[in-house]
Each structure stands twice: as structure tokens, then as C-alpha cells.
Amino acid sequence: MKRLVYLFSAVLAIALIAGCKPKIVAVDITVQLFSENSPLAVEGIPVTLADAAGATTFTANTDAAGAAKFTVNPGSYVASCTFKNVEDGLRVVYNGSNSAILVAEQTEGSFKLELSKVQSQQLIIKELYCGGCPKDDGSGAYSNDGYIIVYNNSEFEADASDLVFGNLNPYNGHATNKYYGTDNKLVYESDNWVPAGGAVWYFKNPVKIPAYSQIVIAVFGAIDHTATVKASVDLSKADYYWMSNSEIPAYTNKKYAVAETIPASHYLSGIAINMGNAWVLSNTAPALYMGKMPKAQLEQLCNDTEKFDQTAGTGNVNWAVKFPKANVIGALEVFQSTKLETSNLRFPASLNTGYASLTNQKGYTIYRNVDKEATEALPENEGKIVYNYAGGTQDVNGSTDPSGIDAEASIAAGAHIIYLQTNDSGKDFHQRSVSSLKK
């Protein structure tokens, strides 16, 4: 009998304790879309709200005023939204996120979600290979075989003659970044420039890229690297281009090499900004930009040392060129997969809002995702699109193309591919397990 009394008392105590817990009251909140600091009144746009831990995600569509309504428990949330539209005949993508949504108890709130408006660029960075690959004998990694692929993402011929390439300081996303102020924001976030370091490269001769076509630009060695390392790539083809060191006397590193098959008319030239014997392109976490600027203007910008930025330190080891934001047409932010927590974005939100993850030394590349809707809408692609893409990676922070379209196989079948442009490297790119040049 005593045992039953004790058991009843214990159950009653647990019930009383449970009944004393404060009741969590859900809160109604509104997320209002904005663009260029004005409300974006578009109905039916899905808005995502995720808790800070990433464990729970809610989705709601906007009403006619561009507002999405949620009922959630108090806590911290991240709101995000991406949607595409056609305006004045141009494809436009709206993209943005707000990580400062704090929902208080019993207090309804309205939160602003500012979206960047991105008009589709004709010329885009399609692929970046910079992480290197394993040597045949397993003794380490080979990393002289970097390349960049530029793609004409339109149905019209593109003039690439004024394209320029470079990367932002610091060279690694996980390196100490002195460009962050006490407010934890980039000091140039609201300015009209970004800190270009290392060197800036440009074409010496006119370059035209046909519709839905590409050019391959070898960074250090425009040679057949597979002759040295089987897992590498052949960059010696006659229609490829090369970032030549021939006009930069300080660049004496032996990794600069070119095959006889590459015509001199396909050599790019560079202007060194920082001291060194080669261009410092990170093989783990670069912030690669593609800009557009006439040669004369570029030379003036990169040789006027009195106007260089010295936020990272004085002298030609640390200084940077203030490259105008308005001249940047492509931004690719890459973080090393094993150092994501200690990495920081280098591009301002007006150019890029996310990052692609790279596991280096495995022959992986950063490859742009397909715009599924736009590609499928092309009438000439009927019966030519190849699905069930399996070229992504599965290891540490691996990724794949969410469209499911195998871009390279589709191109081989005669399809025209339109690649995604949201100005968010995390949404626009994935980590590909094998270079697209190896098919």
C-alpha cells in the first residue's frame, strides 16, 4: 500500500512540476519585401524563415503588398528570398537575406527583407579550378593547373575584349581580415570600391564569344598537365587563353609555362599590384572577380600608387587597388570547406551575398548551377536536355546542382544552357567532382 502511495505522490509531483512550466505563446510576424529601399509589392513570392540553429524552416507566400506572414515561437530567425522575373525583356533575379530577425514574446513584429535586384549579365564566370589535384604517387598535391572559364550566357555574340580578372584582399576567406570594422561590417560596404590585390589581368587583343559558348583561360600553365599528373587537365588546346607572365618581369616563378599550340594573340597581360614572383591566387578560398574596363583606364588605376588603399598595412605587400564596384560584373566568393566558421565574406552585399565551399587538392572545381526554368524554356532545347546530374561531391560540405540538369552532357547533346545568376555564390555554384574539361 505504501508503495502505491509513494508512486502516486511521485506522479503527482511530476505533473505539478510540468504544470509550472511557462506556456510558450506563438507570435504572429510579418516579413516585408523591399528592393532599393522601397516596398516590393509582388504577390505569391515564397519567403523562407529558418531558426538560428537551422533545425526548423517555414515558408509563406507574399500577399499583394509583398508581405509574408508567419506564426512562430520567440527566438532568432533568418529570412531569405529568391525569385526571378522578366522586366523590359531582361531576366531579373531578386535575392537577399536578413539574419537579424529577433522575435520577442507576445509582441507582434514586422521585419524588412531587402532584396538585391540582379539583371542577367551576358558574360559570366562558369567555372573556377584552383584547388589542385592529387599527384600520381600520392606524395601531395599538384596546383599549377588552375583555370577560369568565361561563358556567354545569352543568344547574342558577346564582346569580351575589355574583361579583367583579379581577386580581393585578403587572399583567403579564413585569413585575418582588417577590412571589417568594429560594427562587424566591411569598411567599403557602402563605398564605391573593393580592394583588389595581387594582380589584375586583361586581354591584349579583341575577344568575341559566340552565343552560348565559352573560353578557357589557363592561370599559370597553359600546357598539358596530364603529362605530369594524370588527374590534372589539358590546358594546351589552341583555342585556350593564358595569363602570361611575359610582361611582368617580377613574375619569374617556374610554374608559368605555355605550350607552342597557344598563339601569342591568346596571351593575357597583367599589372602586378603586390610584391611577389607570381600572382597569388588562393588554392583554398579565393574571392575572384571579373570586371570590365578599357586598358588605358585600368593602367591608370593600377599604377597610381598614391591612391592605393592601405587598410591591410603599408607597403606593396599589403596595399590594394580601389577597383570600382560599378565595373565588377562577376563575383565568386569561395571558402575552404574545413574552415567555414572562421571565414568572412569579402564582397559587399551589392555584389555577392554568399559563398561556395571548396575542398582543395582533390581535383574539384567550383561550377555554376543551371537555371532550370530558363534552360527548359528555350524551344530549341526540346529533347536535348540531359537530367539526373551526378557530378557533384559528397565529402566534407559537398554540394551539387539542385536543377538536376547535367549541363555538360546537355551541351554535348546540342542543348543551349542558361546558367543561374542570383549574385549569391552559395546558390549560383556547386562543387563539381571532376573538371568539366575532362568530360
Residue 16 banded pLDDT, cuts 50, 70, 90: very low
pLDDT tens sequence across 24-52:
688 999 999 999 889 999 999 999 999 87
Scanning the structure block, which residue is given the C-alpha cell 537530367? 387
Residues 193 and 241 in one domain: yes
Q: How far apart are CA 198 and CA 202, in angstroms?
A: 14
Q: How far apart are CA 329 and CA 189, in angstroms?
A: 17
The whole-chain average pLDDT of the chain stands at: 92
Residue 238 scores a pLDDT above 50: yes
Residue 14 scores a pLDDT above 80: no
pLDDT tens sequence across 147-204:
999 999 999 999 999 999 999 999 999 999 999 999 999 999 999 999 999 999 999 9
Which of 67, 88, 119 is the last residue in one of the domains? 119
In this structure, is residue 388 part of a structural domain?
no
Residue 186: CB atoms within 10 A of its CB come to 20
H or E element in which residue 331 lies: strand 328-336
Burial environment of residue 335 by CB neighbours within 10 A (0 to 12, 13 to 18, 19 or more): buried
Residues 187 and 107 in one domain: no
Residue 19 banded pLDDT, cuts 50, 70, 90: low
User: Phi and psi (nearest 5°) for 275?
Assistant: -70, 140
Contacts of residue 168, defined as CB under 8 A and 6 or more positions apart, other chains included, come to 194, 195, 196, 197, 287, 289, 320, 346, 347
Residues 136 and 68 in one domain: no
Residues 391-411 have a mean pLDDT of: 95
Residues 112 and 133 in one domain: no
Residue 15 banded pLDDT, cuts 50, 70, 90: very low
AA identity, residue 238: A
Residues 84 and 167 in one domain: no
Whole-number pLDDT of residue 2: 46
In this structure, is residue 382 part of a structural domain?
no
Rounded (5°) CA angle 54-26-70: 65
In this structure, is residue 325 part of a structural domain?
yes
> What does DSSP assign to residue 247?
T
**For the chain, counts of helices (H) and of strands (E):** 5, 28
pLDDT tens sequence across 369-385:
999 999 999 999 999 99
In this structure, is residue 375 part of a structural domain?
no
Which of 61, 84, 119 is the last residue in one of the domains? 119
Number of domains in the chain: 2
What percent of the chain is modeled with pLDDT above 90?
Answer: 83
- pTM here? 0.82
In this structure, is residue 419 part of a structural domain?
no
pLDDT tens sequence across 115-132:
988 888 999 999 999 999
User: Phi and psi (nearest 5°) for 69?
Assistant: -110, 135
Considering only residues 379 and 3, tell me which one the structure prediction assigns the higher pLDDT: 379
Residue 8 banded pLDDT, cuts 50, 70, 90: very low
In this structure, is residue 418 part of a structural domain?
no
pLDDT tens sequence across 288-347:
999 999 999 999 999 999 999 999 988 888 899 999 999 999 999 999 999 999 999 999
Output the nine-digit C-alpha cell for 230. 594524370
Residues 414-438 have a mean pLDDT of: 97
Residues 259 and 273 in one domain: yes
In this structure, is residue 267 part of a structural domain?
yes
Residues 173 and 113 in one domain: no
Residues 145 and 166 in one domain: yes
Which of 119, 140, 162 is the last residue in one of the domains? 119
Residues 32 and 129 in one domain: no
Residues 112 and 174 in one domain: no
Whole-number pLDDT of residue 20: 54
Residues 150 and 267 in one domain: yes
| 26, 52, 60, 120, 427 from 32: Cα distances, Å | 19, 19, 12, 24, 22
Q: How far apart are CA 283 and CA 146, in angstroms?
A: 9
Residues 256 and 201 in one domain: yes
Evaluate the omega torsion of the peptide bond into residue 324 and state whether it is cis, within 30 degrees of 0: no
Rounded (5°) CA angle 191-334-190: 10
Whole-number pLDDT of residue 316: 86
Residue 161: CB atoms within 10 A of its CB come to 15
Residue 368 scores a pLDDT above 80: yes
In this structure, is residue 381 part of a structural domain?
no
Per mean pLDDT, which range of 98-102, 210-214, 256-260 is the poorest? Answer: 98-102
Residue numbers of the domain that contains 40: 27-119
CATH code for the domain of 44: 2.60.40.10
- On whether the CB atoms of residues 325 and 351 are closer than 8 A, the answer is yes
